[in-house]
Amino acid sequence: MNGWMGKIIQIDLGSNRQQALPVTPETLRRFLGGRGLGVKLYTDLCPDPLDPFAAENALIFMTGPLTGTVMTSGRYQVVSRSPLTGTICDSSSGGSFGAVLKSAGLDGLVIRGRADHPVYLFINDGGIEVRDAADLWGLNTQQTQKAIHERTPAKTSVACIGPAGENRVPFAAIMNDRDRAAGRGGMGAIMGSKNLKAVAASGNRAVVIADPEAYQAMNARLDRAVDKNPVTGKSLQVLGTPVLVNVINAHGMFPTRNFRSGVFNDAEGISGEKIAETLLQRQSACYKCPIGCGRTTKTRNRQGEGPEYETVWAFGAQLGISDLTAIAEANYACNELGLDTITMGSTIGCAMELHEAGALGEKMLWGDANRLVGWVQDTACRRGFGAELGLGSRRLAAKYGRPELAMQVKGMEIPAYDPRGAQGMALSYATSNRGGCHMRGYMIMPEILGHPVFLDRFSTAGKPEIVALFQDIAAVVDSAILCRFLQFAMGISTFSEMLRAVTGLDFSDEELLTAGRRIYTLERLFNNRAGFMRADDTLPPRFFQEEFQTGSSRHRRVRLEEMLDAYYAVRGWDAQGAPSAATLAELGL
Amino acid sequence: MAGTVTVRFYALLRRQLKTAAIEVEADGGSLLELLTRAEELAGQGFLDELLDPGNELLTGTIILVNGENVRLKDYLNTRVRAGDTVDLFSPAGGG
C-alpha cells in the first residue's frame, strides 16, 4: 500500500489482548487518516457517548497518509470524547512522534480498557509491548521522556502525560518530543484514567511513495514556495507565533482581563518582538519542517520552549499580567506538568473575575504574577484552590453561581481572539465541533491577516459559506496530516497534489473538500447524540451584550443570529443543527 | 497648522528599521505619499516589505490608519492627517 501502512491495532489494557482493526481502502479514501479516520473509528467503536473515563472508552492515536513523507509531516492526532466538553475531540501535536509511530508500522493505535497498574506501551516494528510504569507514575513529562529514552532504542519518540493527566484534570495535555503538546480537550486525562503513562514508538519502516519522481519534484518546488512566502519563510522563523500579540491588540480584539477589554496596554512588553529581544535563545523545528516556528527560550532561572501566542495571551493579557518571565515560567510549568495553557489561563482569569464580582472568596487578583506558577502546580496536583481551577472555567463559574463569566463554548475556553472583532471567527467558535477553539476554522486568516484574501471582519455577508469551507479544509489538513501553517503558503490544490504523489490515488480538490465535509458532519452527528444542538452553538452572553469602549473593535457585538441559519443551510443541517437525511445520504454516512 | 503623523513599525519591519515609531510631517495627502516620506526619514527603504513593485499591498500586509484597515478605506490613497496614527505590519502569521 502507498502512503498508509495498512495496520491499525486495538489493544485492551485490561486484558492486554491485541487485535488488528480492518479498514477498507474505501474507508481510507473517504476519511484519509488522522482526525478523519480517527473519528470514524471512534464513532464506530463507541457510537453511544460514554463517560470519557469509562474503561471501555477508546483513545485513538492516529497518523495520516502523508505522515513521515512531505514537509511538516511529523504530526499526530489523538481522538476520543473530551472530558472537558463531552464533545468528540481530536487534539493535534507536532514534533516527530507521528512520523516515528508510523515508522513503527502503524497508521493508528486504539487503546481501550484500563490497566490495573501504571503501564507504558512500547511499539517497535509493528509489535506492541505493555511495560510496567510504576516507577514513572508521578514524574513530570520531561522526566518521563528521559526515563523511557534510557529504556528504549535510540530515536524512540515518547508521548506521555504528567501529573495533571494522572490526576485526570480535564484539560490535561499529552506531551511529546519534550515540549510539543496535544493540548486541547483533555486527552491526557483519558490516558491517566487508563493508567497509561506513555506511548513510546520506534521503527525503521519507510512509507512507500506511489510516484517518487513527482514526489521529489513537488518537494523541491514546495520548499521554494515556503521559503519565498513572507510568513512561512521569514516572520514565523524570526518572531514565531507571538508576532500576533501586536497585530491582534492593534485590532482591538486582544482579550484582556477575561474579555472585558480588547486592548492590553502592556501588549508591547509581552509581544513577539519583545520575546525575540529578551527570552529567545534560538528557533526550533518539528520533523521535516522548513518553517521552524518553535522558540527555545530562557529566563534567569529556567529554560524551555515557548511561550506561543496563545500562551502569552492566556497568562498575560487575560490575567492582566505583563511580566514576561512569569508568563514563560508558567508555560514551562504547564509543559512539564502536562496542562493545556489556554484553558489553564482562561480559567484563572475567570476566577479573578469571580473574585472581583464578589462571587468567590479565594483571593484571585488581576496582575498577580507571583502566584501564577503556584496556581498551575496546584491545578495539576489538584490541591488547595487548584482543585477548583482544575474544573475548567465552565464548571468553576457554574459552581459559584455566575456561569456567564466563563469564556467558553461547549465547555472549551475561547482562545486569544475576541469574537466581537471578527464575525466569521465568532461563527467558527460557535459551531466548532470541539468547542471554543480557533483551529477548527481559523477565520483570523482572512479577517485579520488577509490570507488568502482579505475579508471585512465586521461584515457577516458570505461568512457562513467561508466558515464551512475553512472548517472543511482544516479537517482535511488534520486528516492528511500536515501543519496548518502551510496554509499561509499553499492551499487545497497543493494538498491534493501531495496526496496523489504519495498514495497514487487520483484525489481531486473537490473529493478532498467533500471528505472534509464528511468528517465535519460525522463529528456533528456524534455531538448531536451527546446532546449538543442549536442551543449549544452559541457564545457567552458578554459577546452579544457588552461593547468595548476603546480600541478599533469598540462598539461592536457578535451578530450570530445573522449567520447561524445560513450556516446550517450551507451544511445541510436542519434548524436544530442536525444533519438532514439528504446530507447523510450525499456524504455516505 | 502643520502637525505630524505617527508611523509605527511592527513585526519584521521593526527589526529591520531598529525603531518602533517615527513622526512624519503631515500634509493631508495620501498614505502612499506619507509612506514615501517615512522611508526617507527612516533612512532606508521598507516599502518593498509591504508593497509589490506595482505599489499594490502584498498579500498579508496590514496597514491600519487609526486602527482601521486601509483595505476597508481607500487603500494607499487613504488620506492621512496630522494627529493620525499609521500602523505598519509586514506579513505575519501564527495561530
pLDDT for A566 equals: 98
Q: Determine the Cα–Cα distance for residues A400 and B83; give it in Å rounded to an integer.
A: 47
CB contact under 8 A, B12 and A235: yes
B94 in a domain, yes or no?
no
Please check whether residue B47 touches A, CB under 8 A. Answer: no
CB A24 within 8 A of CB A523: no
Among A250, A268, A450, beta carbon nearest to B67? A250
State pLDDT tens for residues A479-500.
Answer: 999 999 999 999 999 999 999 9
Q: Which residues of B touch A231 (CB under 8 A)?
A: 60, 91-93
CB contact under 8 A, B72 and A235: no
Q: How many helices (H) and strands (E) does chain B have?
A: 2, 5
In A306-341, which positions are buried (b, 16+ CB within 10 angstroms) versus exposed (e)?
bbbbbbbbbbbbbbbbbbbebbbbbbbbbbbbbbbb
CB contact under 8 A, B69 and A454: yes
CB contact under 8 A, B89 and A448: no
CB contact under 8 A, B90 and A239: no
**Sheet containing strand A18-20, strands side by side:** A18-20, A8-12, A108-112, A59-62, A76-81, A88-93
* Angle (CA) A262 A268 A270, round 5°: 90
Would you list the DSSP string of A355-406? HHTTS--S---TT-GGGHHHHHHHHHHT-TTHHHHTT-HHHHHHHTT-GGGS
pLDDT for A126 equals: 84
Residue B6 exposure: Cα atoms within 13 Å on the Cβ side:
9
pLDDT for A77 equals: 98
CB A327 within 8 A of CB A315: yes
Q: Which residues of A touch B20 (CB under 8 A)?
A: 268
Residue B1 predicted with pLDDT over 50? no
Q: In the 8-state DSSP scheme, what is residue A300?
A: S
CA atoms A217, A220, A223, A229: torsion sign = negative
CA atoms A382, A386, A387, A390: torsion sign = negative
* CA distances from residue A339 to A187, A196, A203 in whole angstroms, order as listed: 10, 16, 29
CB contact under 8 A, A309 and B94: yes
Among B14, B64, B94, beta carbon nearest to A241? B94
Q: Determine the Cα–Cα distance for residues A539 and A507; give it in Å rounded to an integer.
A: 37
pLDDT category at A561 given cuts 50, 70, 90 is very high
Q: Which residues of B touch A456 (CB under 8 A)?
A: 72
Look up the domain containing B25 and give its range. Answer: 4-89
Which residues of A fall below an 8 Å CB-CB distance to B?
A: 230-232, 234-236, 238-244, 246-247, 250-252, 268, 272-273, 276, 293, 308-310, 438-439, 442, 444-445, 448-452, 454, 456, 484-485, 488, 551-552
Q: Which residues of B touch A250 (CB under 8 A)?
A: 10, 64, 67, 87, 89
Would you list the DSSP string of A530-571? TT--GGGS---THHHH---SSSTTTT----GGGTHHHHHHHH
State pLDDT tens for residues B10-62.
Answer: 999 999 999 999 999 998 999 999 999 999 999 999 999 999 999 999 999 99
What domains, with CATH codes, occur in chain A? 8-202 (3.60.9.10), 240-409 (1.10.569.10), 419-587 (1.10.599.10)
* CA distances from residue A103 to A156, A206, A314 in whole angstroms, order as listed: 10, 6, 36
Q: Which three cell numbers stand for residue A135?
A: 516507577
Q: What's the start-to-end Cα distance of chain B, in Å?
A: 44
Please check whether residue B92 touches A, CB under 8 A. Answer: yes
Closest chain B residue to A456, measured at CA: B72
Q: Determine the Cα–Cα distance for residues A463 and A450; give it in Å rounded to an integer.
A: 14
Please check whether residue B9 touches A, CB under 8 A. Answer: no
Q: How far is CA A151 from the centre of its chain?
A: 30
Q: DSSP 3-state assignment of A158?
A: strand
Q: Which three cell numbers stand for residue A431?
A: 459551531
pLDDT for B93 equals: 94
* A/B interface, count of CB pairs below 8 Å: 98
Q: Which residues of A touch B90 (CB under 8 A)?
A: 230, 235
B40 in a domain, yes or no?
yes
Of all helices (H) and strands (E), which one includes residue A499?
helix A492-503
Q: Which residues of A touch B95 (CB under 8 A)?
A: 241, 309-310, 438-439, 442, 444, 484-485
Distance from CA of A244 to the nearest CA of B (A): 6
Count of CB atoms within 10 A of residue A277's CB? Answer: 11
CB A260 within 8 A of CB A404: no
CA atoms A503, A508, A509, A512: torsion sign = negative
Is B53 exposed, middle or buried, given 0-12, 13-18 or 19+ CB atoms closer than 10 A?
Answer: exposed
State pLDDT tens for residues A281-335.
Answer: 999 999 999 999 999 999 999 999 999 999 999 999 999 999 999 999 999 999 9
Residue B2 predicted with pLDDT over 80? no
Distance from CA of B67 to the nearest CA of A (A): 5
Closest chain B residue to A448, measured at CA: B62
CB contact under 8 A, A247 and B11: yes
Please check whether residue B2 touches A, CB under 8 A. Answer: no
CB contact under 8 A, B69 and A252: no
Q: Which residues of B touch A238 (CB under 8 A)?
A: 12, 15
Q: Determine the Cα–Cα distance for residues A142 and A175; give it in Å rounded to an integer.
A: 9
CA atoms A460, A465, A469, A472: torsion sign = positive
CB A35 within 8 A of CB A475: yes
Is A112 exposed, middle or buried, given 0-12, 13-18 or 19+ CB atoms closer than 10 A?
Answer: buried
- Cβ within 8 Å of residue A547, ≥6 positions away: A420, A554, A555, A556, A557
Closest chain B residue to A253, measured at CA: B67
Helix axes A372-381, A341-356, angle to 10 degrees: 110
Domain count, chain B: 1
CB contact under 8 A, B60 and A242: no
Q: Determine the Cα–Cα distance for residues B70 and B86; give it in Å rounded to an integer.
A: 10
Give the mean pLDDT of A82-109.
Answer: 98
B12 in a domain, yes or no?
yes
Can you state the percent helix, strand and coil of chain B, rounding each to 5? 30, 30, 40
Is A371 exposed, middle or buried, given 0-12, 13-18 or 19+ CB atoms closer than 10 A?
Answer: middle
B8 in a domain, yes or no?
yes
Q: CB under 8 Å, gap of 24 or more: what pairs does A564-572 form?
A: A564/A427, A564/A430, A564/A431, A564/A464, A564/A534, A564/A537, A566/A464, A566/A465, A567/A427, A567/A431, A567/A464, A567/A467, A567/A468, A569/A464, A570/A464, A570/A465, A570/A468, A571/A468, A571/A517, A571/A520, A571/A521, A571/A524, A572/A521
pLDDT category at B95 given cuts 50, 70, 90 is confident
Among B11, B60, B64, beta carbon nearest to A451? B60
Q: Which residues of A touch B59 (CB under 8 A)?
A: 450-452
Closest chain A residue to B48, measured at CA: A230
Task: For an interface test with B, give the residue of A92, A251, A277 to mutate (most B CBs within 10 A).
Answer: A251
Q: Determine the Cα–Cα distance for residues A383 and A363; give it in Å rounded to an integer.
A: 16
pLDDT category at A82 given cuts 50, 70, 90 is very high
pLDDT category at A186 given cuts 50, 70, 90 is very high
CATH, residue B49: 3.10.20.30
Q: Which three cell numbers stand for residue A371?
A: 502566584
Task: For an interface test with A, give the residue of B12, B14, B16, B85 to mutate (most A CBs within 10 A).
Answer: B12
Closest chain B residue to A294, measured at CA: B94
CB contact under 8 A, B11 and A235: yes
Give the mean pLDDT of A89-93.
Answer: 98
Among B49, B66, B93, beta carbon nearest to A236? B93
Among B61, B87, B90, beta carbon nearest to A250? B87
**Any idea how long chain A is?**
589
B34 in a domain, yes or no?
yes
* CA distances from residue A21 to A110, A202, A493, B45 in whole angstroms, order as listed: 9, 21, 31, 60
pLDDT category at A24 given cuts 50, 70, 90 is very high
User: A258 φ, ψ to 5°?
Assistant: 60, 45
Query: ipTM strictly over 0.90?
Result: yes
Closest chain B residue to A451, measured at CA: B60
Q: Which residues of A touch B49 (CB under 8 A)?
A: 230
Count of CB atoms within 10 A of residue A359's CB? Answer: 15
